[in-house]
Structure 1
Amino acid sequence: MVQLKKAFKTFTNVLIIASFILQVYIHTYPSLTPDVCSWDNKKETKLSDKYKDIFKVNYPPENQILHLLKLDTWKTYFKDVLLTKKDNSHNKYINPRFLLFGDPQIKGAWRNTPLLTRLDIFGNDHYLGHIFKTMFKRLTPDFGIVMGDLFSSQWIPDDEFYNRTERYINRVFSGAIPSSLDRIRDLKKKFVNPDDGINYKTDWITFSDGKIRTLRKEEGFPPFKFDYGSDVYRWNENDPFLFINMTGNHDIGYSGDMTFQHLSRFTDMFGADNFVLHYNEGRGNSYRIVNLNTMLLEGPGLENVLMDITWEFLYQLFEEQFDGTTILLQHIPMFKEKGFCKDGPHFSFYPEVYEKEPYKSNLLKSQNHLSLETSNKLLNLLFHNGKPGIILTGHDHYGCDVVYNRYMTKMKDHPNGLAESYWTASKTPDSKNENSEFTGDIVKEITVRSMMGDFAGAVGLLEMNYNKDYETFDFNYKECVFAVQHIWWAANIVTIITVLLLSIRILFI
């Protein structure tokens, strides 16, 4: 019996140590790679002295185990951990900071969902929430952006869409959009008949009627409002920062699937799918954030009205003749040849004879990228002023980055006598010395790695610094990773077991 008690105490002590190490790790993991999990030190930041060097991208070490075996890693770790209060002071007008979250895709439980699956869903919510809380507390950004695919499927009923939204606000991004919870609960009261037993229904008929009649410019229906204001740093006074929820194909579907109902409930919960925000207007450091629903750019689509509205938004942006820097937010990336990123170009369409849903015959079913034609059109509409810009996307869960160089063909090469502007993806900016058709215009596209556990809980950090020499911004992007979800589970399970065993030891041994 004495030996058993001794073994029990020893085992408990081992668990105490393991629990302590795991808990310290999951709460201080950014300190293991502070170079990619922190904003730049303002005292050490150097602006680019060459136009082609304004984009900087930094990724975490490829071999994490080798990184942990280095003495320097632990020196910087303890230095960073002991620096309990990070100096995040900065001028948000010339140095805006963005925290980016790729494709969380939270799942849902149904009546017949097994208990273990329910537990996994519960844990996944809190795993994602832990990442957000850790990074937000560390970095206090000006903007937070989720790159679409908030949920795992668009094929869920309205009440389940509401349930996931509640979890998303309460668990995953707790504290980021506190005002949204009251707003959606008010919607629930407004649209639900308490006798039908359903949690929430979107009023998609009123939504579709308004869209159609506004597009037709009928009397009594004012033009679409796409401009959501200037110098907006929070939606409501209680919000800690400006939080943008982009929409993705798993939220509303591709154009061949998307109905008015899909888009109506998304806008009920998360706001507009197409809008623009302007900052520092009339100054050299002016920029705009363009939030674009790229699922409605290409077809054949199910609801052409919605596609027409999206293109109307883009034409209005072009006519604005904006002379500042553009930050484009879109879920589906631009076209690029196979090999640049994990996903290559791919389109699929519903068959001509589709007995399950005949109305979807030949419609767009899925896509990895926008087409080459649409990508060129989009780049020409939004990045025509010669200022470098940046595109932030999701969809490809692995993440990557490319540069789009702009070229102008010679007029004599075209029978109509007009020059043609086109863009090509590359890993680096081009040079006029090497290609006479290169205009010097460059745009960076960054696909943000998913924050899901299978992709190590990644978060993107984007920092912009105004460069007076070029009258534009320098862009610095970093990718900070946590760990696969099993590490988070292990830390919390070991801690729970440790508390139980320690309680038994104190009370009975």
Structure 2
Amino acid sequence: MFFKAFSAPYISDLYRYYLNSDLLPNPADIRILAIGDPQIDGAWPNTTPRKRLDIFGNDYYLGHIYSVMKRRLQPSVVTVLGDLISCNWVSDSEYFNRTERYANRLFPRPDSVRPDSPSAIDLLERRGIRNQSSYEKWFHNALKSNIFDDSYFGYEDLNSWSNDSSEPLFINTTGNHDIGYSGEMTYDNIYRWNKFYGKDNFWIEYAKNTSHPWRIVVLNSLMLDGPAKHNDFVEANWNFVRTVSNRQFNGSTILVTHVPLFKPAGVCSDPPQTQFFTKENSAAYDWNKIGNLKSQNLLSYETSQKVLDALFRNNQPGIILNGHNHEGCLSYYSRDQSGEWIVSKDRPINDTGSYIREVTVRSIMGDYDGSTGIVTGHFDNNKKIWRFEYSVCPFVVQHVWWASKVTLLISILLQSIAFFV
């Protein structure tokens, strides 16, 4: 009787739907649009008209790429992987100007900073140092009183910074051209970033109490290696890493940062390069930084191992998205028998799915074909793991875009002349 009931069409359908993993409804795919190093430039009083036109056109060229890719790909998350602007030493007013262009021309969205008048720029310039001083005091007190904890860093199931559900979640990441390397970084650099672009360290956990949890961890990689100008920054950054590591999390991690992890020569286009401030490579006004970290194209080996251990400790597959190297790179990390993380250009032969893929996203700048990256995360119901794939999407060389605009203007001009003749 039991077998007859079990073979009934309705009961049989229930069995196949709820117990057969091949037929289980999959969680929605993760779709991330990754943008590398826009590095928008600025105009100065002595900037030539041609350069001003180039800056103006470049803003709309990058904005056009973003609007087209967002409309066609419908990402759930957009992340810009550092170096939003081209220089971390610009004045407060110029920083504000570039933020305004970034928010209105390149990546318009409801949660953007939208200054209303030039007086707002002047106000920031006048109050910048005063606010920076109060931020410095707050930062010191936060370290002493342990404000930097789960409640400060963590979010859950966050899909937008605003109430507009039609827009993807937009994440900005600190780059060396935004805040500097640790050996030169000041409180003013961090204050301006946090004021206009958001926190430099945080995480968002999704579907935590389900069979398919995953999270985004945004990490300020400029504060990991030293020697630093302000050791408080490095202390706070490693405190964040430890906080993430101590969380009981069983899902996959998507790490969003700027400086790539350590790799030996031959894996990517550039070998490891690190510079420290010396009298020989520094102007006299930088001699107070001698011995500090001046630049690095990769994190140190020790730091890379610690970050991987802390953020990918649960043996789940994951992916790392970063920028910095404009050419782009793809590599894979997996543990050997001793527990050391080993990097390779090739996917592990014994593909259990638990390796970590690192993607250095090719720059969106015109010299690099206006490239963007597409990350897709698909949940494998059979193995109960997330699988991540990545594709590079070149747009078009900037000269082609410029040619199309010039051609359009010439056509309009000729038609206007013909109309009046």
TM-score normalised by L of structure 2: 0.88
Can you list the C-alpha shifts for 1:451-500, whole angstroms capped at 9, x where unaligned? 00000000111111100122111112111111221111110011101110
- Equivalent positions of 1:280-295 (< 5 A) are 280-295=207-222
Shift of 1:199: 7.2
Asked if 1:315 corresponds to 2:242, the answer is yes
Asked if 1:378 corresponds to 2:312, the answer is no
Distance 2:345 2:89 in 1: 37
Conserved? CA contact 2:93–2:122, under 8 Å: no
Asked if 1:130 corresponds to 2:64, the answer is yes
Asked if 1:139 corresponds to 2:68, the answer is no
2:133 alignment counterpart: 205
Conserved? CA contact 1:273–1:291, under 8 Å: yes
Distance 2:188 2:221 in 1: 18
Conserved? CA contact 2:153–2:201, under 8 Å: no
Asked if 1:216 corresponds to 2:144, the answer is yes
Which of 374, 398, 421 lines up with 2:327 in the alignment? 398
Shift of 1:224: 7.1
Distance 2:297 2:148 in 1: 35
Shift of 1:441: 4.3
Distance 1:222-1:114 versus aligned 2 partners, 3 A rule? closer
Conserved? CA contact 1:291–1:330, under 8 Å: yes
Which of 402, 406, 411 lines up with 1:493 in the alignment? 406
Shift of 1:428: 2.6
1:267 alignment counterpart: 194
SS in 1 for 2:336: strand
Gaps of 5+ in 2: 1-21
Conserved? CA contact 1:101–1:451, under 8 Å: yes
1:451 alignment counterpart: 364
SS in 2 for 1:357: helix
What amino acid maps onto 1:246 in structure 2?
A: T
- Equivalent positions of 1:121-200 (< 5 A) are 121-174=55-108, 177-182=109-114, 193=123, 198=125
Which of 287, 291, 296 lines up with 1:367 in the alignment? 296
Distance 1:397-1:115 versus aligned 2 partners, 3 A rule? same
Distance 1:120 1:222 in 2: 42
2:231 alignment counterpart: 304
Can you list the C-alpha shifts for 1:215-261, whole angstroms capped at 9, x where unaligned? 1128xx67574434211110011361100011100000000111000
Shift of 1:342: 1.4
TM-score normalised by L of structure 1: 0.73
What amino acid maps onto 1:426 in structure 2?
A: S
Conserved? CA contact 1:214–1:224, under 8 Å: no
Identity fraction in percent = 40
SS in 1 for 2:141: helix
Shift of 1:179: 2.7
The number of residues matched between the two structures is 394
1:5 alignment counterpart: none
Which of 341, 360, 375 lines up with 1:423 in the alignment? 341
Can you list the C-alpha shifts for 1:346-365, whole angstroms capped at 9, x where unaligned? 10000167532222011000
- Give RMSD over aligned pairs: 2.4
What amino acid maps onto 1:424 in structure 2?
A: I
Distance 1:223-1:284 versus aligned 2 partners, 3 A rule? closer
What amino acid maps onto 1:335 in structure 2?
A: F
Conserved? CA contact 2:217–2:256, under 8 Å: yes
SS in 1 for 2:135: helix
What amino acid maps onto 1:230 in structure 2?
A: E
1:26 alignment counterpart: none
Which of 44, 60, 63 lines up with 1:110 in the alignment? 44
SS in 2 for 1:179: coil
